Amino acid sequence: MRAIVIGGTGGMGQGVARDLIKQDKITNVTLGDINIDPGRVQDKLRASDKVSLIRVDVNDHDGMVGAIRENDVVINCAGPFYKTAVAVARAAVEARVNYIDICDDYEAVPILFSSADIDKAAKEAGITVLTGMGSDPGTNNVLVKWYASQLDRVDEIHLFWVVSIAELSGAAWDHSLHMVTGKIPQYLDGKLEYVDGGTGEETAQFLEPLGTCVVRFVGHPQPITIPRYIEGVKKVVIKGALIPLWVDELIKEQKQTGFLSTEPVEVRGTKVAPYDLTLKLWDTIPKSRDNGPAASGLKVIVKGEREGKGVTYTADIVGRMAPGTGLPASIAALMMDAGDVTVKGVVAPEGCIDPEKFLAALLQRGAKIHQTETIESMFAL
């Protein structure tokens, strides 16, 4: 099995590649990136005879098609995905190669599902375009599907995540600012609504070392995808946090004062978008500043009914962001090769990934999922 990872020399791409090269069935992993400096690649990958480097520009459609065509699967880790997901998926479909991404930007998802040259063409070519197969979205979508299968009715789904800025760099900063700007989707009272990003504050308890965090509405794809597959659900909300707390508080101030505006302003005769300047400055935070623990976390809450009783499932995971995001994409690629993913065309994880097989593979790789089940009923003798 041959795989190409777009954005392969970035942190998330290398997280995917590290797991792929451990698998006997993998013969070659190509790291495709616009930056192919070997110094960016971790020692374990540089030492593997399965790994090769190739320059790939996501803005060069024909070049991507050529690079992808020689592989069995392409895994897109080149963010921010509101700029790249559609372009790379389109190239994969033209190359007739199965596609996976870790897209966490909601804007790309409706385009993927509605574009004839992606969804329809993929179905005709007999290939899968799996979007959102990272950590969030990704692992938490599969957990939602797993818990939903244990219920007679699903009412509410709450997805929370937290990321320490000690784990952020490059395109992840772009996504982190972008996801709280403008109106973003949430599924409320049985319909898709658009709310102000960064609002809806509440506290959520995560596993240590994360603890209690303030989470806010963020622009992720699950409110769009989950209702497609979980019949009857009335509420799907996604909230996240960057820690330490001063980060989200400062981003909130930047949003309110225009520093996240994409409208150019003139500065000494030069047009500058405040967003671009703010993004550049966030990527240069002094190391002496409190950046929080090197950890990220997920919390999944699924509420519904079974045999007339109210049931609430919760799941919590904590770990490092790169393996937490990379492992799900690698596992999905291996499941595709094994014939465990049969849906063709554009699909989200909850629409095609077998939860039992996926979660077993994740646990085998050392993941620890803490879960609870709470059953509500009337007392009777």
pLDDT string in tens for the chain (381-residue length): 999 999 999 999 999 999 999 999 999 999 999 999 999 999 999 999 999 999 999 999 999 999 999 999 999 999 999 999 999 999 999 999 999 999 999 999 999 999 999 999 999 999 999 999 999 999 999 999 999 999 999 999 999 999 999 988 888 899 999 999 999 999 999 999 999 999 999 999 999 999 999 999 999 999 999 999 999 999 999 999 999 999 999 999 999 999 999 999 999 999 999 999 999 999 888 778 899 999 999 999 999 999 999 999 999 999 998 889 999 999 999 999 999 999 999 999 999 999 999 999 999 999 999 999 999 977 777
Does a structural domain hold residue 374? no
Burial (CB count <10 Å: 0-12, 13-18, 19+), residue 286: exposed
Q: How far, CA to CA in Å, does 47 sit from each of 25, 107, 182, 189?
A: 18, 38, 44, 53
Does a structural domain hold residue 381? no
Same domain, 314 and 338: no
Q: State the Cα–Cα distance between residues 174 and 105, nearest whole angstrom.
A: 11
Same domain, 167 and 219: yes
| Number of domains the chain contains | 2
Does a structural domain hold residue 148? yes
Does a structural domain hold residue 378? no
Same domain, 118 and 235: no
Same domain, 160 and 266: yes
Same domain, 97 and 178: no
Q: Which amino acid is at 94?
A: E
What 3-state DSSP class applies to 10?
Answer: coil
Same domain, 97 and 147: no
Q: 333 phi and psi, to 5 degrees?
A: -60, -40
Using an 8 Å Cβ cutoff, are 317 and 367 in contact?
A: yes
Does a structural domain hold residue 379? no
Q: State the Cα–Cα distance between residues 223 and 162, nearest whole angstrom.
A: 18
Same domain, 195 and 108: no
Structure tokens of 74? 């392409």
Q: Which amino acid is at 300?
A: V
Let me know the angle formed at the C-alpha of 307 by 381 and 156, rounded to the nearest 5 degrees: 120
Does a structural domain hold residue 370? no
CA 274, distance to chain mean position in Å, is 26
pLDDT at 170: 80
Q: How far, CA to CA in Å, does 64 sit from each of 153, 240, 369?
A: 44, 33, 37
Q: State the Cα–Cα distance between residues 123 and 113, nearest whole angstrom.
A: 11
Does a structural domain hold residue 372? no
Same domain, 249 and 189: yes
- Of 286, 319, 352, the position where a domain reaches its end is 319
Same domain, 331 and 231: no
Same domain, 198 and 302: yes
**Calculated CA dihedral for residues 203, 350, 171, 180, nearest 10 degrees:** -40
Report the b/e string of 107-136 with b at 16+ CB within 10 A. bbbebbbebeebbebbbebebbbbbbbbbb
Q: State the Cα–Cα distance between residues 219 and 207, nearest whole angstrom.
A: 23
CATH code at position 7 = 3.40.50.720
- Of 319, 335, 354, the position where a domain reaches its end is 319
Domain assignment of residue 105, given as a range? 2-135+321-364
DSSP run (H or E) holding 256: helix 245-256
Same domain, 326 and 270: no
Same domain, 170 and 296: yes
Look at the block and give the residue holding tokens 């070659």.
28
Listed in sequence order, the residues at least 6 apart from 186 whose beta carbon sits closer than 8 Å to its beta carbon are 192, 193, 194, 195, 217, 223, 236, 237, 238
Does a structural domain hold residue 150? yes
CATH code at position 288 = 3.30.360.10
